[in-house]
Amino acid sequence: MDTLAGQAATESAEARARAVQPLLDEHGPEMDRRRELTPEVVDALIEKDMLRLLLPKSLGGQEIHLLDYCKANEALAWADASAGWFVNQSNVSSATSAASMPHEAAAAVFDSARQGLAWGARHNNSKAIRVDGGYRLTGTWSFASGGRHTEWLGAHSAVQNPDGTLHIRYGRPDDRSFLFPRAKAKIIDDWFVLGLRATGSDTYAVEDLFIPDEHAPARDVLDERREHGPIYPIGSTLLYASGFCSVTIGIARRMLDTYIDLARGRQSRASTSPMARNNAIQREVGEMEAKLSAARAFLHEAAAQVYDASAAGKLDVDLRMRLRLATTWGMNQATDVSIACYRGAGTGAIFERGLFERRLRDALSASQHLQAMWPMVEMVGRHLIGTENVVQFI
């Protein structure tokens, strides 16, 4: 057992995440300015083995419980949202890829605690042509969160035959994720955004790049899943959702903690009484605590139910829908709390040197992710009612 694996076996992921919080706090403003994590932070995350939380144990990973995973991402985001976002993105991408790759190929790619994986969102403008022994991949993808700190990138694409027709496998159109060294991609430095700046989520492109079969897993497809631990049947979409929801909860918790500290010792010029004795603020703080705690409890309950059902081989669409609802609802509730804390903090919240400004930008940017979109809740509502529905993202 290597040193990192030994540490992971004796110390919880949440505890290891909390251990790097002071460093994340210290480097947060600089990472925001640089639009990427600092080398010191990357090294600290590696030292705490934070990129192998979900990786199969057969590859030196930890395969931790989904609830423990949520708590670790929340703890990271409490200090720095971009670090939590990167850890979630890389963990889910690596684990779900490795679970469907041949063991030897996965072991070669994820051969150390430093080997994360970054990729952008799937779209319909790429091309992956089936050829002998693999694929020829062409396309441009965006939002490769953490891609500046990984040696491997990936991309998603439907597969075509050489004649341009869709390639069919397992009775349906073949859709795959393609892994390749970052050095083989053209990196486009276009990550100039409101928040989550330190994720360095660049755009990247490849043209006619050969990808061997063993580096092109069909993730979330039972026919090719090699690993059978409870994490992997849950699927990438709900794993991403659980982690990203935890990030937004971590941001909101830090905002609320900071707002409460502010309220204890300040009097607003617009009020006749100190904040701590203002009934409106007392009620507001109580309501925000209830809202955030309820969102977190719902997420943790649903995550534990899904994980336990997966372990028992009884994971069904009802539980998947419940976790979908918990994650989307939680992201929006957490965002509301973050906004309310910023508004309540007054003019002092607008300064870059403070604890509110960057975290509000991070919260608002996280809230724009697909996982937080309200149509997800509408889909769950249709499922509960039993009306005609298109089931997706579960």
d(CA 138, CA 155): 10
Return residue ranges of the chain for CATH 2.40.110.10.
117-220
Q: How confident is the model at residue 243 (pLDDT cuts 50, 70, 90)?
A: very high
CATH class for the region spanning 3-109: mainly alpha
Could you give the C-alpha distances from 246 to 327, 362, 381, 390, in angstroms and in order? 8, 13, 23, 26
User: Which residues have a Cβ under 8 Å from the Cβ of 34 and sit 6 or more positions away?
Assistant: 198
d(CA 261, CA 212): 55
d(CA 281, CA 378): 33
- Tell me, what DSSP letter sits at residue 153? E
Q: What is the pLDDT of residues 70-113, one digit of tens each?
A: 999 999 999 999 999 999 999 999 999 999 999 999 999 999 99
Return residue ranges of the chain for CATH 1.20.140.10.
235-385
Return residue ranges of the chain for CATH 1.10.540.10.
3-109
What per-residue string of b and e applies to 281-296 under the rule 16 or more CB within 10 Å gives b? beebbeebeebbeebb
Mean pLDDT for the chain overall: 95
At the fourth CATH level, the homologous superfamily of domain 235-385 is Butyryl-CoA Dehydrogenase, subunit A, domain 3 (1.20.140.10)
Per the DSSP assignment, residues forming a β-bridge with 169 are: 172
CATH level 3 topology of 117-220: Butyryl-CoA Dehydrogenase, subunit A; domain 2 (2.40.110)
- What's the pTM value of the predicted model, to 2 decimals? 0.95
- pLDDT of amino acid 3: 59
Q: What is the pLDDT of residues 39-71, one digit of tens each?
A: 999 999 999 999 999 999 999 999 999 999 999
